[in-house]
Structures are given as structure tokens and as C-alpha cells.
Amino acid sequence: MPPKAATKKAAAPKASAPKTTAAATTAATKKAADTKKTAAAKPAVKKSAATNGATAASKKRKLAEEEEAEEEESADESAPESKKPATKKAAPKKAAEPAVKKNKTATAAAKKKAAAEETEDESQTKKPAKKAAASKTAAAKKADTKAAAPKTKAAAASKKRKASDEDTEDEKPKGKKAKSDAAEVDSQATESAKATESASEEPEAVKPAKAVKQTKVAAPKPPPAHPHKIGAKLNTAPTQILDVYVFGEGSSGELGLGSKKLDGKKVIDVKRPRLNPLLSAKDVGVVQIACGGMHSAALTKDNKILTWGVNDQGALGRDTTWEGGLRDADAEEEDDEDDDDTGINPRESTPTAIEADNFAPDAKFVQLVASDSATFALTEDGRVYGWGTFRSSDGILGFTEKIQIQKTPLFLPSLKNITALAAGSNHILALDNKGVVVAWGCGQQNQLGRRIIERNKLSSLTPQSMGLPKNKINRIACGSYHSFALDKEGGVWAWGLNNFAETGIENGAGEDDAVVLRPTVVESLKEYKIKQIAGGEHHSLACTEDGKLLTWGRLDGHQVGIPVDELPQDSLIRDESNNPRILSKPTVVEDMPKTVFVAAGVDNNFAIDSKGEANSWGFSANYQTGQGTTEDVETPTIIDNTAVRGKKMVFAGAGGQYSILGGVADLPKANGMTLNGQPATGGFRPVF
């Protein structure tokens, strides 16, 4: 009995009953050979067709076949449900090679023992029969995959069967007529499939390969158009080029001075303002700056967005992966060559532009804002991009409902016709051209102006409007956990955390969880026409159209800039030890020159006067006041050192432990104009 019949029997165990002996199998196959040819398509008849090739063999050969069958039966008993032969046939690569090899061997044998015409007929009939057998064997394997035997025994049986197949293949042309009869039905059944493609002696079975090749080299679809299609101009970008001065702690790269000493000066613990050479007015041309908790962003004259500082949660909008920074402390003390290297990540501490391909082509930016862990950019046509994440008291809240951390700029399609942005620690406000204000981010302290249900807290990451009058609001501002909106008449609306009266509303001040649920008019500011307002963590300040400076909120870190003994006693809220802790009503800071710009850090403040001098006060443990001291600065004090003396400041900003000043750049003059486009003898325009 040919070994192939035994192989097929093992490949379809679920169709067989109790195992048969080799002699019984031989008898069965001989009997099956006498049945009608139309039964050749059935598995049992296929065994007969494959076996009939031995009808002209001698007794000696029959004995050899029986011995071979017994060996095969023995292998089957060790792996009664082995599917490996079928597996090998089904595998695209491994099954194809043996089939071609056997075909060529059979053809060569046929040429030696038969006429050329008979060989061609045999090649045409034998190949479809084999393919049909392989197809049925694979189908049987697929139908009984779960019953597969152990791999080691099945693999051994498969090897043995393959060798036997190839050894006896040369002898099969002797049973040419029987095989042709059996294969005739199978050939008709599989003619439309790939059976006849290898019937020719010439190796032209390459049509499938061509089809695969065409699929692989098919041209890829062009990328979809950017979702931001540039619209009509709505906003104007600032043009005033700034000299950028930095000071404060800076150990995480917040100062943007790089990672190594510059001109022998440290890049951390900068006590007084220092001109940042990496943000040169001539070479870089910064026109606007945003300060986040521990990172910063700058917009340049040529429309680039530079970022630096901490990038743990994507706030820089670019990849800052760096494998350095892990140094041996003992070796560091011994090696003087590393003295200039702080170990700060240079890719974070060096101001670097975000790749332009993150934005729509021709997008032009007009404003940047930064929260603790995110950054947002406003375009000329009123659209918004953002990156980073928002945090809550439980950790990372997310950037959107579906995105935890956005590491590169993402276009925010729901925001349209926006004219201004403002950022708190973990929330954002946006104002559109119709005076509608929307807010999103963390809303745990009601800083979004709407109630957030805990089980649906991710809804806070979707921008939504609040109860403010339409067509009336024209400016917005944020503290860490509270918010402001200013109307066209100079009135102020506030909402959010109010445990230190930071909103300017006395109701609930002094209580741990006091909040203003929805936008509410600040009655105590009605007598003033507010020009600009800013919020710190638990305090706020503002300047009026006529240059007055107002402060209120927490005062135990000298945040309000007024000596305690000069504070109005009826506006003070004291702690359990009777120490003044809260100034509940906005109060004018006396003896100040006309103020045109204000800014707040966590617990420190800045006020720029009409002459361009910057005053600072408040918490200074990390030199964030720029006064060169770690002691609190009790009252507004002019920042004066060689770097800023005589310079006109127009911007101030502060993060958690650092601060930045922006002054009118002293650029070479050309035709009576400075290179930043300002009259050489003219004044300056404050940047808001």
C-alpha cells in the first residue's frame, strides 16, 4: 500500500472508525478501485485511486507495501489524530515546494518510461488530482484542528510520510490509466481554481505572483486634508519684538537657558533678571510669551512656537527624549570637566520650535497660553490647537474624553471664531467674537462655571459655555482655580474657588470648600473701570483704566503687597490665632505710579508702570520676585539690576518657581525705525 494512502487516512481521523490493519486497508483500497469512476471525488475513492498505481507490481512489492503500511499504522497509533501532514499541505510556502518537486520528478520518470505525448497527458491529470487531495486533506485538518496530536510525534510521522511520498512518486506513472480515471472527476471540479496552471512543462505558473506584486506596489492613498482649513482673518498677531529676561529656580529647565553654564553663569537659581541669549531679539524675535506651572512657550516674529521646561505630560508639544542625565555622583566630584554641565535635559531646557507639520499649512498664530501641564495656541482665523493634559486631585484627568496625554499639537474643531484664550492651573477659557465664553479642563473647584458630576467628570474636557451675558464680554482671565470675565463697561464677573475670597466676592470666604458656582458680578469692583485682571493661586490683582492697582485674597505670604497695619480692618478675615489671613475686598495699593499691566504667579505678583518699570512683591523663596532674595517681599518694589536698568518692560509672567519679563528690544535702527517696526523715538504698546 503506498504511504500516501496512509497519510490521508491519518489526516482525517474524525471520519474513521476503529483503526484497521495494513492488510485490511490494502483489501479495502483494491475493492474501492472497482467502483464507479464518479465516486473518485470521495475520500475513500481517492485512497483507491492513489493505491491502484501498484496493480501491476509483483508480490514482493506488495509485501513491501504492507510493511510500509504497518510502519505507517504504527505511527498513527502513537498519534491517532495527527494533523501535521494536512498542516504542511495547507501552509502556503511549505506545501508549494514539495508539490512542484514531485511534479518534476514524476515528469522526468514519465519521459524515460513513456512517450512524450503520454507524459503530457499524465502531467495534466496527475497535478489536479494531487491538488484536490491536498485541498481535501487541508479541509479535513481545518475541520478538526482542536483534536491535533502532540507536535513531536506528529512531526516525526510527517517527516516519514514525506520521505515515503517522494520515494514512491517515480513509480506512480505505471498506474497511469487508473490515476487518469480517478483524477478526471477531480480535474473537472478544480479546473477553475489553479489546477491547470502547472500542467504545462514550461514553468509559467507566475500569474498569482504577479497579482500579489501588483497589490504590494499599489500607490497609497494620499493623506486626508488637514482638518483646519484657513478662514478669514479675525485676530492680529503682536509685532513688538521682545528682549526676554528670566529669573527664579529653573532646575527643570523653566528658564530656557539650556543645560550648561553660559559665560560662566549658572542656569539655575538665577537671583535677578538675566537676558536669555537663546531667545535673542535679533536672531529669534519673540513677540509673545506664556508661562505655565513648570514650562513656557514663546511666539516668534516668523510664526514659530518655541517651548521649554518640563515635558513629563506633553506640555512642550514635541519629543524631548534624552538618554543622558544619569551620572555617578562620586565621579562627578572628581571630574572637573563636567562642572559646567547641570545634568538638566538639554532638549527640555533649550527653547526649541515645534515642528510646523503639526499645524495646517499657512496657519498663523496670535496668542499662546499655558497651564500647569498643557499649552494652547490661537490662530489668526480664530481656531485653536492644544497639547499636554489636565490634572485633577486624583491625578491625570485627560486632554479630551478619549485622549489622556496629547504629546503633539491637536486641532480642536469645536472652537471657532475665538478671539482670546486664558489659562488657569488646569482649566482654559476661550472668548469668541460674539462675546461667548466657553471653558474646559478640570472643574473640581467650579472654575468652569458649571456643575460637574463626578461619575461624568470627563465631560468637563469638552468646551461649554456658561451663564454670561452675550455680546458683552470682551476680556477673560484666570487664577489657578478661579476665573474672570470683563465686560465692555469695565464690569467684572467671577466664579470658581473662593476660600480666600480670591474672586473678590466675600460670600463664603474663609471656609475651606467655598466656591462661587456660576459667573457672578463682583460688586466690590463696580466703582472701578477695570482694564486688566490677573489671578494667582489664592489671590488676585487688577489695574484700572486710570492706572490704579488693586489687590485682594490671601495675604499671609504678602501677596496683596500692603503692610498688615495699613489694611482696612473691616475687610480682614483672621485665622484661629487671630492673625490676618484674608483680604476679602479689593483694595487700592497706595503710592504706586500709574499701572498699565499686572501679572500673578502662585504667590507673587508684578505690576508694570507707564514708564516701563517692573515692580514685584510676595513669596520669593526661589528668587521668583527677581529681587535677589529668598525672603518675602512685602510691598511692590522696582526690579533694578544692570540687565533691566533703563529698559522698558511691557510684559511680565510667572510660573510656579520662576518668572519672565519682556522688554522692548533695543535693536539697530534703520530709516528712523527700529527693526521691530516701532518708531525709533516713539513709546511702546503694552502686551496683554
Is the pLDDT reported for residue 197 higher than 50?
no
Instruction: Give the closest residue to 382 by CA, choosing from 416, 338, 408.
Output: 416
Residue ranges per structural domain of the chain: 3-216, 242-325+339-674
- In percent, how much of the chain has pLDDT > 90? 58
Collapse the DSSP code of 197 into the 3-class scheme (helix H, G, I; strand E, B; otherwise coil) and give the result: helix
The predicted-structure confidence for 664-687, as pLDDT tens digits, reads as follows 998 875 444 444 444 333 333 333
Instruction: Give the closest residue to 428 by CA, choosing from 382, 383, 464.
Output: 464
The predicted-structure confidence for 120-145, as pLDDT tens digits, reads as follows 444 444 444 444 444 444 444 443 44
Q: What is the mean pLDDT of residues 642-665?
A: 98
pLDDT at 612: 98
In CATH, what number does 242-325+339-674 get?
Answer: 2.130.10.30
pLDDT bin (cut points 50, 70, 90) of residue 280 is: very high
Is the pLDDT reported for residue 391 higher than 50?
yes
**Cβ-count burial 261-273 (b if 16+ within 10 Å, e if not):** eeeeeebbebbbb
Most confident of 90-94, 151-155, 159-163, 466-470: 466-470
* 118 CB neighbour count, 10 Å cutoff: 15
CA 59 vs CA 27, 85, 476: distances in Å: 14, 29, 104
For the beta sheet containing 418-423, the strands, ordered from the edge strand earlier in sequence to the opposite edge, are: 418-423, 427-432, 437-441, 464-465
- Structural contact between residues 352 and 300, judged by C-beta atoms closer than 8 angstroms: no
Is the pLDDT reported for residue 193 higher than 80?
no
Give CA–CA dist 579/564, Å, rounded. 10
pLDDT at 683: 31
Cell of 370: 499655558
State the chain's mean pLDDT as an integer: 76
pLDDT at 442: 98
pLDDT at 135: 44
Is the pLDDT reported for residue 48 higher than 50?
no
pLDDT bin (cut points 50, 70, 90) of residue 63 is: low
pLDDT bin (cut points 50, 70, 90) of residue 227 is: confident
Give CA–CA dist 320/315, Å, rounded. 11
pLDDT at 226: 79
Is the pLDDT reported for residue 343 higher than 60?
yes
Is the pLDDT reported for residue 441 higher than 70?
yes
- Structural contact between residues 460 and 449, judged by C-beta atoms closer than 8 angstroms: no
pLDDT bin (cut points 50, 70, 90) of residue 64 is: low
pLDDT at 29: 44
Three-state DSSP string of 514-550: CEEEEEEECHHHCCCCEEEEEECCCEEEEEECCCCEE
Is the pLDDT reported for residue 361 higher than 80?
yes
Give CA–CA dist 388/306, Å, rounded. 15
- Structural contact between residues 233 and 606, judged by C-beta atoms closer than 8 angstroms: no
CA 203 vs CA 104, 199, 200, 206, 562: distances in Å: 10, 9, 7, 8, 97
pTM of the shown model: 0.67
Residue with C-alpha cell 516713539?
682
- Structural contact between residues 545 and 489, judged by C-beta atoms closer than 8 angstroms: no
Higher-confidence residue of 136 and 508: namely 508
Give CA–CA dist 287/300, Å, rounded. 5
pLDDT bin (cut points 50, 70, 90) of residue 66 is: low
pLDDT at 680: 34
pLDDT at 46: 40
Residue with C-alpha cell 501679572?
599
Is the pLDDT reported for residue 103 higher than 70?
no
Contacts of residue 104, defined as CB under 8 A and 6 or more positions apart, other chains included, come to none
pLDDT at 472: 94
Is the pLDDT reported for residue 199 higher than 70?
no
Give CA–CA dist 16/20, Å, rounded. 9
